[in-house]
Structure 1
Amino acid sequence: MTNAVSLPPDLHQWVARHVTGMDTAAVTDASWPRGDSRVWRVSADRGEVFVKLYPCAEKYEREVKGCEHAARALAADEAPRLLASDPQRPAVVLSALPGRVVRGLPLEQAEEQHVHCLAGDLLRRWHEVPEPISDLEHERIMASVTAQTDEAAMILDRLGDQLSPAERDLVRDAARDLPGLAKALPLGYRHGDYSPRNWLWAPAPAPGHHSLIDFEESAPGLMVEDLVWLCGAAWPTRPDLRDAFLAGYGRPLSWTEQRALVLLTARLGVSYLSTGLTKTDTVLIDRGRTVLQHMVGALR
């Protein structure tokens, strides 16, 4: 979305204290249609910045923490720099990066494989930089897994007759096995929304430049959770992209990671299906059924 707009007056005044030339700056809405946060692209005297306004303090705090983590884990031009922040609004000003959002780009197969390899390499470096995980955070992580398994069990009881026998077995496995698997999985600092909509790609100059945006879902957690979107939406029909990504990541997934990834993705798929049926949303229904079918196939 790139509609010309104006910043809310009080937000404009705050941004003007950090960005010169706001009186003549061009402002466009860069928010995701389904996102909760508001994002504006601001083209001012010294180039572009992004202004982001959050619906709650938690997302703001995660964005700020994610920027700090990125500064330690990635090269300077691989993630936005935090130029200004205000927890009272809550809002931030972020530096712009070269390139365009990867989702929807018409890439040739070899170029797309290259981008996914770079994405794997970037996530490896993101995951390799440790962040302290307190006992409270560890309890939150395990509670999140338990909540996901409880949801899977509840949906299975309610919608089991709308699933195939193989899909029912898969969702039942997710409800039963994920808590135990989670205890054996590596923990780290997750991006939280690692998908092509948050990757930027600039093909020129060669060999091209890949970078990462949007840290409002970042937090300590199961590192394999950063692969759930790819596992459900990209890899089933494009195993070449899986191979490219894991080549960049630097190692194959362990049996435990692969098993947990399939079950986490199946849990997400059945959640899509349940929500879609409740809201009569055919997009979510189709997405949920597709993910479940793919995950059944992944176990063969």
Structure 2
Amino acid sequence: MTENKPFPPGLRAWVADNLPGLDEVTDVSWPRGSSQVWRVAAGPTAAFVKLSPTEIDYDREVLGYAYTARILADHEAPRLLAADPGLKAIMSSPLPGKVVRGLPLEKEVELRVHEDAGRLLCRWHDQSDPGSEQDRQDLRTAMREQAQEAAACLESTAEYLSAEQRTLVEAVSRELPELAEQLPLVYQHGDYSTRNWLWDAESGHHGLIDFAMAHHGPAVEEFVWLCGAVWATRPDLKAAYFAGYGRPLSNAEERLLRLLTTRLGVSYLNSGLVKARVDLVERGHLVLDRMAHEYR
């Protein structure tokens, strides 16, 4: 048996019960402390096992798997094979393809991948229920917290910002709660970034993984990471994405997306200054420059 990281106590027996003949365990976690994911196999039969860091993550992921089973095809998302709330353990089927983030793609293929991603997310959102009053209250809390974070970041980064950027960050602290209140809720994937997209070059299929952040919120929250990390320098990918998504954003959605992305940018900048990380400082400036340009 091969193994890069030992299973926590009790997990191995649970895996063996659900995958008799277990003979291979490979750590495939993301490089962050809370990520605990393994590829397991019994001969030719493989699966993925994940330990959720919290009960909320576990509950969200189980519900996310149930949702995908209703709306996405087998080649578009893995299926839940087993789950244990006591262990906070999830076993899922493998999905063909490679993670898109960092994957070298020709431009034509890259455009297709982003268009397919927009199309898949459109179906995900269109099948959603409108959420509950608790979902709405959770959103209000989250928007207040993000507005407060922007105000705090502004105090510590003001000298590094242009006048336009300062004005935009100030708008984040003022407008986020009211803007979010105007928009309907959808069931979000919650982490719809390229690290959770799979591309299977052989079949030409786009896939989606990781449902631990699935929750209700405005649709544009799904686009914030892409807006700041990808679209800021690749408007062609943004155009392809929304061609797949099938509709333009409303004025309120565009404004909320810009402000949420600005909040992300000033957060990058603040973290970079605090941690002396040049990469985060540069990323923050890139995002803020782009958002100020669009705001203008």
Same topology, TM > 0.5 = yes
Which letter does structure 1 place at the counterpart of 2:12? H
Compared CA separation, residues 79 and 35, structure 1 to 2 (3 A): farther
Which letter does structure 1 place at the counterpart of 2:94? A
Given that residues 120 and 245 in structure 1 are in contact (C-alpha distance below 8 angstroms), is that contact kept between their aligned partners in structure 2?
yes
Q: After superposition, give the CA deviation of every residue in 1:216-248 in whole Å (9 maximum; x if it has no partner).
A: 111111111000011101112111111110010
Given that residues 232 and 286 in structure 2 are in contact (C-alpha distance below 8 angstroms), is that contact kept between their aligned partners in structure 1?
no
1:8 aligns with 2:30: no
> Counterparts of 1:15-164 in structure 2 under 5 Å?
15-22=15-22, 24=23, 26-34=24-32, 36-131=34-129, 133-164=131-162
TM-score, length basis structure 2: 0.95
Counterpart CA distance in 2 for 1:191 and 1:242 is: 18
Divergent runs of 4+, >4 A = none
After superposing the two structures, state which structure 1 stretch, 108-117 or 230-239, moved more.
Answer: 230-239
* Unmatched 5+ stretches in structure 1: none
Which letter does structure 1 place at the counterpart of 2:187? Y
Q: After superposition, give the CA deviation of every residue in 1:191-226 in whole Å (9 maximum; x if it has no partner).
A: 111111100000113xx0101001111111111100
Q: After superposition, give the CA deviation of every residue in 1:163-192 in whole Å (9 maximum; x if it has no partner).
A: 111110110111112222112222111111
Given that residues 189 and 215 in structure 2 are in contact (C-alpha distance below 8 angstroms), is that contact kept between their aligned partners in structure 1?
yes
* Unmatched 5+ stretches in structure 2: none
Cα offset for 1:282?
2.5
> Counterparts of 1:274-289 in structure 2 under 5 Å?
274-289=270-285
Out of 165, 186, 190, the residue aligned to residue 184 of structure 2 is 186
Q: After superposition, give the CA deviation of every residue in 1:270-295 in whole Å (9 maximum; x if it has no partner).
A: 11211222222322222222211121
Cα offset for 1:35?
5.3
Cα offset for 1:3?
7.6
Counterpart CA distance in 2 for 1:297 and 1:31 is: 37
Cα offset for 1:8?
3.2
Compared CA separation, residues 133 and 35, structure 1 to 2 (3 A): farther
% of aligned pairs identical?
Answer: 52
Aligned residue number for residue 218 of structure 1 = 214
TM-score, length basis structure 1: 0.94
Given that residues 72 and 129 in structure 1 are in contact (C-alpha distance below 8 angstroms), is that contact kept between their aligned partners in structure 2?
no
Counterpart CA distance in 2 for 1:267 and 1:259 is: 12
Q: After superposition, give the CA deviation of every residue in 1:95-140 in whole Å (9 maximum; x if it has no partner).
A: 1100000111110010000000100000001111123522122101
* SS, match of residue 37 in structure 2: strand
Counterpart CA distance in 2 for 1:59 and 1:161 is: 38
Cα offset for 1:34?
2.2
1:299 aligns with 2:295: yes
What is the number of equivalent residue pairs in this alignment?
295
Counterpart CA distance in 1 for 2:130 and 2:224 is: 23
